[in-house]
Structure 1
Amino acid sequence: MDPYTADDFTRDIMRLGEGRPDPQVVKAVVDGSRDAVGWLRQRVGVPFIFSFHRQAYLVNGRQVFWGGLALGVDHDGGKGLIAAHRAALEAAGIETWFDTPATEIAVEGGSIVGLVVSRGGKAKTLRSPAVVLACGGFESSRALRSQYLGPDWERAKVRGTPYNTGDGLSLAQRVGARLTGDFKGCHSTCWDANAPDDRGDRVLSNQFTKSGYPLGLMLNARGVRFVDEGEDFRNYTYAKFGREIMAQPGGYAFQVYDSTVVPWLRKEEYADDVVEKIWADTIEELAAKLLEKGLEDKDAFFHSITRYNDATRAFKAEKADARWDPAVKDGVSTQSSSLKLDLPKSNWALPLENGPFLAVKVTCGITFTFGGLAIDPETAGVISGATGKPIRGLFCTGELVGGLFYSNYPGGSGLTGGAVFGRKAGQEAAKLAKAAA
């Protein structure tokens, strides 16, 4: 497969973040990424596999990866990752307490000395020279989503746990931590409109994702396209496009495909038992059926697709040698000298002409928020707002790290950042534990 270099990774984070990510935080993630993956495999036993089912297409008999992300985890992805971590913890003799919320970070003399938790309805102080906050952002709090992201975000569907309600941010702020990063930004994606509102499904998990849009079109309730579906690989657009869906009338849209591309859709996302499929033999019939699902203007819907089809055919007539290839940015577009759409489809633009036609209703699913805590990128130590220096004994990782992502991000890099800063936090916490022993 093609190499994905440190420079590639850095450019992707900075490009998608519009040049705003903290260069030192980005450098720490990129430089530590390869070692973190190796450590997870060797020390934790994470069963990595090539992600053929999500990150590659079979082209001319060969699996071709795209977007720089080639690894997944065996045994149902995230569920397999959690299982590997749980097994490693048990093997090391480490206890895990559930139903035990943290209520206060204990501080003495300016240093962290432990954590106060509520266990069985009673307060209990766990003495420790270090606390690592790894408890997510605020995506599960409707109030905080509305406060930071905007009122429309109250209706976003929560993709994962209902418990990421910003507790880590408030705990850290009470001991003087500094906030930083893009508090108006988040990881979002095209999500099944029929999925649960305030939590993910622990069985179906990521199957509610609907990432096939580069192969088709997305139209809003008024029957109008609103994004360039072929702007870039899915890895680089889904967080951005999830936000765009939220901004549409009603906060939903319709993905539309013809029979030429339906076989290319990911089976785990578009299986009959996972998503409601609306089928029709013609575009006119499809538009009529979608009126019951929230489409407001079937004539505009028909006109948008007809105009798109005309543009793809004009391009093909002008560039007959252009080949459609979903594994590369193929340049097969809607733009030619004779006809240009105001909103192009820049790649993978095939006409929707072969019935039956498929439509799927999608909305915005929110995964994690970008704003978080300022850290020392070398240690993952949380920075004090008063001194500008790390608070002794307080560390954080995962979605709580601020300054890494702005506006958008490369798929998979959130997990990478969590692994890198989690290792750094653990190593520094171990040093303090040894010094205190």
Structure 2
Amino acid sequence: MSALVYDVVIVGSGNAGFCAAASAVESGASRVLLLEKAPLAWAGGNSTFTAGAYRTVFRSLADVLPLVNNVPPNLTPQIDMAPYTETDFLHDLQRVTNGRCDPQLAAALVGESRVTTKWLAQNGIKFQLSFKRQAYEIEGRWKFWGGMVLMVQDGGKGLTRQHQENARRKGVEVRYESPVVGLLCNDGGQVTGVSVKGENGKTYSVLARGGVVLCAGGFEANPSMRAQYLGPGWDLAYVRGSPYNTGECLNMAISEVSAKSAGNWSGCHSTCWDANAPTDAGDQNLTNQFTKSGYPLGLMFNVNGRRFVDEGLDLRNYTYAKFGREILAQEDGVAFQLWDAEGAKWLREEEYASDVVERISADTLEDLAAKLIPKGLKSPTNLVESIREYNKAVQSHRKKHPELIFDPSKKDGLSTRCSAGGLQLDKTNWALPIAKAPLLAVKVTCGVTFTFGGLKVVPKTSSVVSELTRKPIPGLYAAGEMVGGLFYGNYPGGSGLTSGAVFGRQAGRSAAQRATELKSTRAVL
């Protein structure tokens, strides 16, 4: 059987892969093939399991209104939305990664974010303003917060479906259940294609004139690699998304063509996750609903009845990707989120409704603590004492600062710390008392979303860099979770999908342009 020949071959059917495919077609590639290890039912990789949020630069509400389909004219005057500039985005990247993010990658991500979201809309991605996740209705006004305002209609499932529809319109060939098992190279060290295992178990070759774009995700669904790179105990973390992101393509690129690794290989996006969720893969129906991100409005306790993070440290967008690590570090790797009636009313139904999560409620602290014992709480006395101590600190702060008003859309300064003292671990914003019945608790664990370690790429082309030559490997590109160097320990919410789109678009364009150049010189694969 002779090898199949395409202009561009893409590995992985997530957001980055579909962006690369669409961009390749637009850039002149006549034959584009997208290969996916998973079956059709698991299409989309981790993108399917997201909320479909994109972080992008915008100047005002008027800047994003042309992109969205859920804002009637009469609602516009009721929306408060501060601009989110390139400076803001870069600052957030630098701040949450402790200055470790690659400055050139960051500049490319930020600088291309706005034009890329517009490009996505032109390619059939249906954006909406994220009222439920990124805005609070306060005194009749919708107050957006955290710099992230766009989401895709129907979330991650809608995003994958819309990408698939766009690929069909553009004539992209997509093959599922087609794992890539090797990279093909010529004597000059150029990547010329891939080896694919077919349904019959036999391997066949696919050649790519312009190059191969790797968009196959990280190693978050591989427990042995998690333990190897993230550290002891990480094999026990729950997998939030696709069970097919197991790191083979990362290992393949590094071992077969000496691709240079980059980024935070001991770091990952990990969040508060329903302790009753499946352990080794996300639920394809509930997807992102197992996320439990309402902790800024309440408290979190470990099984010994002690708090272990400052729940009000920052807006949720800047803490939720790292607090899962803190939960996993606790005894038994679980925790309890807790609110009173006032805090609970701000929780999002899609995450905390009774048909999504096990809600444990009681009218008194003592009764709630007793109900949590069968769920794993080991010291109900500590829990009750901790909350009473917390409530006293909240009351002291309120007396000293009566001018402060609770506002979940910004850092409101309602704290447990004042001149009269505070707690050993203060809550620095949104410190509401735990007093009004009914009280509510849910049990959470650590859910791993994606890993931060990846391959070093050239920011303007997404070409993979060689460990040996420190130069681009001809014919090899990467995007999505496989790009290393952007995120360290944490990330700003919504920047993952934006990164996949920005660098996926670049990679598809670069590979297509290379195919055109080689055709013009009549180069033979």
TM-score with structure 2 setting the length: 0.82
CA distance in 1, matches of 2:505, 2:366: 55
Which of 143, 161, 165 is 1:64 aligned to?
Answer: 143
Residue deviations 1:245-292, cap 9 Å, x none?
A: 010000000000101121110000001100001011101100011000
Matched, 1:159 2:240: yes
Q: What secondary structure sits across from 2:175 in the alignment?
A: coil
Runs (4+) of structure 1 exceeding 3 A deviation are none
Q: What secondary structure sits across from 2:499 in the alignment?
A: helix
Identity, in percent, stands at 54
CA distance in 1, matches of 2:232, 2:343: 36
CA distance in 2, matches of 1:320, 1:20: 39
Partner in structure 2 of residue 403 of structure 1: 485
Partner in structure 2 of residue 5 of structure 1: 85
Partner in structure 2 of residue 106 of structure 1: 184
Partner in structure 2 of residue 26 of structure 1: 106
| Equivalent runs, 1:130-149 vs 2, <5 Å | 130-149=211-230
CA distance in 1, matches of 2:181, 2:233: 30
Which of 502, 511, 518 is 1:429 aligned to?
Answer: 511
Matched, 1:83 2:161: yes
Which of 220, 229, 239 is 2:311 aligned to?
Answer: 229
Cα drift, residue 58 of structure 1? 0.5
Residue deviations 1:212-252, cap 9 Å, x none?
A: 00000000000000000000000000111111001000000
CA distance in 2, matches of 1:221, 1:255: 11
Residue deviations 1:147-199, cap 9 Å, x none?
A: 01112111100000001111121121111101011011100100000000000
Q: What secondary structure sits across from 1:264 in the alignment?
A: coil
Q: Which runs of 5+ in 1 are unaligned?
A: none
Partner in structure 1 of residue 257 of structure 2: 175
Q: What secondary structure sits across from 1:255 in the alignment?
A: strand
Partner in structure 2 of residue 94 of structure 1: 172
Cα drift, residue 107 of structure 1? 0.3
CA distance in 2, matches of 1:113, 1:407: 35
Residue deviations 1:73-104, cap 9 Å, x none?
A: 11x20111111110011111212111110001
Matched, 1:348 2:430: yes
Cα drift, residue 403 of structure 1? 0.5
How many residues align structurally?
435
Residue deviations 1:92-149, cap 9 Å, x none?
A: 1212111110001100021111111001211111111300000000000000000011
CA distance in 2, matches of 1:21, 1:338: 39
Partner in structure 1 of residue 386 of structure 2: 304
Task: Decide which moves more: 200-209 or 335-344.
Answer: 335-344
Q: What secondary structure sits across from 2:216 in the alignment?
A: coil
Amino acid at match of 1:82: T
CA distance in 2, matches of 1:73, 1:246: 30
Q: What secondary structure sits across from 1:260 in the alignment?
A: helix
Q: What secondary structure sits across from 1:151 in the alignment?
A: coil
Partner in structure 2 of residue 379 of structure 1: 461
CA distance in 1, matches of 2:359, 2:283: 19
CA distance in 2, matches of 1:133, 1:167: 11
Q: What secondary structure sits across from 2:503 in the alignment?
A: helix
Partner in structure 2 of residue 119 of structure 1: 198
Partner in structure 2 of residue 272 of structure 1: 354
